[in-house]
Amino acid sequence: MRGPHNIWRLVRTGATFERTGAMKLVLDAMDAPKPLRIAARVLGWPFKWLGIEGDPAMPPATRALTALGPAYIKFGQVLSTRPDVVGDDLARQLRVLQDRLPPFSLAEARAQIERELGRPVPEIYSELSEPIAAASIAQVHQARLAGTGEKVAVKVLRPGIEKAFRKDVDAFYLAARLVELLSPSSRRLRPMEVIRHFDGVVRGELDLRLESSAAAEYAATTAKDEGFRVPAVHWAWSSRRVMTLEWANGIGASDLEALDAAGVDRKAAGERVLQMFLNHALRDGYFHADMHQGNLKITAAGEIVAMDFGIMGRIDEYTRRVYAEILFGFIRKDYRRVAEVHFEAGYVPADQDIDEFARALRVIGEPIFGMEASKISMARLLAYLFEVTERFGMQTRTELILLQRTMVVVEGVARSLNPHINIWDVARPVVETYIAKNVGVHALARDLAMTARVVARLGPRLPKLAEAALVAQSQPPEPGLRSMSGLLWFLAGGGTAALCIAIGMLIAS
């Protein structure tokens, strides 16, 4: 990371927002307090001349973020799904960032395709259109495969995108370091860990081979989901910088007028988007983590078609159960249980008061429970959530960043399709189904059966483990031996008991 360059980058960020007129717009949209407004203007105005001018034809916020680069564009994409947080006008401006950015030339795209796939374009595609969509990292062309004539989508990375992202992420690292240095209380939010997580996600998104793999896995896990589809990958014509996919028919989820003209039931579509995300996160532990309007199409029959699989999320079995229990507790208005789950999972330090935390959760849940989305102020809700995390010393859970971020994005998409959607009513059947299958007696039986299988695999090693434990009794303890002794106890006694319990529970079920 280059210090001088990053300092310059941060200064230029504020200057660019000031020069493009985006600073006041963003502060107004976020309803920023007066001290923050004063500080932003004092720091931005003297350096206004250093800002990037950007494209004057674009609205101010879009102009500023586009001029600053791909990482800033990614941030704008998330905000574009939250008109309740940033306001309708700013959200409309930012929505351009999803798939309508300035493209690079067809000639550059053809050259990249030939370099990557090692063959002339006519031998691969009988037709290759001008760009039909351009986003922060890549653009998409419509094409037909030579020979079969099948209609496909061809995704090509932007030239030099890797270097551009590296510069942005370097500056973010510096910003995170400054936040930790100047505001010790912010360290519980682990800003450096957050940026490292973002860095890892971006690196994966810049290799289209990984995206092809993600698309194939996502298609397999969602194959039986009615009303949801993932286009198939053409592996022969995909590489690190080029990806070829089955063409996805449908109307962009952001084109509400076209959806209405096609007779699409937007209310049902909004519910399906939210329920599909929850199903994929809870049931599969594998979900689309960039599910904004630009990455979704809706057919006339209401089928949701997902695109762009550069950012996918995973959550393990334990975290899924915790997440489901938290949601279910809110749905049932059982704030004490929600608080207990937070403490059991270690999300709240053990020295905090569980009853006080439950009371704080009630303040979050009661005002929004049963209300339609258009009546909920997410700006106020998010502000209070931040107060709660600070008050109870909660640290940022980096393993949940993608899940939390995507939940915000998906809720925003559902709201755009149906402004009156009731989030809790829509989520309830999905969460209840997951809870019924994965929390309780049946889940315990399944867990014990899995434990028994692990014990069985370790069986041949039992004599050596026993011998090691006996030797350990006559020698000073070494790192790791205590855990080995615990494993031996489990295998010799606890494992047998677990196996018996598992068999009994399976028979009973």
**Of 368, 319, 359, 367, nearest in space to 338 by CA:** 359
- CB atoms near residue 172 (< 10 Å): 24
Which residue of the set 290, 334, 355, 425 is catalytic?
Answer: 290
CA atoms of 406 and 395, how far apart (whole Å): 19
CB 138 within 8 A of CB 192: no
Identify residue 52 by its one-letter amino acid code. I
CA atoms of 501 and 509, how far apart (whole Å): 12
| Runs of H (alpha helix) within 183-264 | 191-205, 208-221, 256-261
Q: 290 an active-site residue?
A: yes
Query: What are the backbone angles phi and psi of residue 173, rounded to the nearest 5°?
Result: -60, -45
3-state secondary structure 205-217: HCCHHHHHHHHHH
CA atoms of 428 and 430, how far apart (whole Å): 6
* Beta strand ranges found along 38-164 (DSSP E): 125-134, 138-145, 151-157
Cα angle 230-236-239, degrees, rounded to a multiple of 5: 80
CA atoms of 295 and 99, how far apart (whole Å): 8
- According to DSSP, the residues that pair with 228 across neighbouring strands are 304
**Of 72, 136, 155, 98, nearest in space to 293 by CA:** 98
Catalytic residues: 290
